[in-house]
Amino acid sequence: MAGLEIHEAAATGDYDSLEEYLKHSKVDVNLKDIEWDDRTALHWACMKGYVECIRLLIEHGADGCARSAEESWTPAHFAAESGRQHALRALFAADIPIDRQNKYGDTPKRVAEIYGQHECVRYLTTAEEEQAKFRKKLGIDEDSDEILKHSKK
């Protein structure tokens, strides 16, 4: 499928190729790979923990709340499953909600608990609380996938 080069670059951490594709092709940064559960390039970068690729994708408009087809996982779910705390930190720093539930009601923190990713659980416990407070301060519904666009002050 045309355009999936960004998925391969994100999954392998090939920042230079990813940057080239994003700058010079008309590929949709949120293109879903139907052969891999509708994952986007951001899902792959988060699962593999390639923080620079994560930042680049977000800068180019990647949807941090994009859902996979089968489980309805966000990029944060994949990062949590794989123990990629730095990926979770990158999502959090970009004001992307890191506490969205999948279709079974599991948050990334719960996924980290299931897979024994204790460092991620500790981080997500604090990060979820901080995002919840910030959402409340801005008047954003706690179930909203709205990106927290305002600076955290």
Q: 74-77: which pairs have CB atoms within 8 A and are 24 or more residues apart?
A: 74/100, 74/102, 74/108, 75/40, 75/42, 75/43, 75/45, 75/46, 75/47, 76/46, 76/100, 76/108, 77/102, 77/106, 77/108, 77/111
Q: Which residues of 90-99 are buried (b: 16+ CB within 10 A; e: fewer)?
A: bbbebbbbbb
This prediction has a pTM of 0.91
Q: What is the DSSP letter of 39?
A: B
| Boundaries of every domain in the chain | 5-138
pLDDT in tens, 97-145: 999 999 999 999 999 999 999 999 999 999 999 998 988 888 887 776 6
pLDDT in tens, 6-60: 999 999 999 999 999 999 988 899 999 999 999 999 999 999 999 999 999 999 9
Query: Does the CA dihedral 99-57-30-73 come out positive or negative?
Result: negative
User: According to CATH, what is the number of the domain 5-138?
Assistant: 1.25.40.20
Name the residue with higher pLDDT: 146 or 94.
94
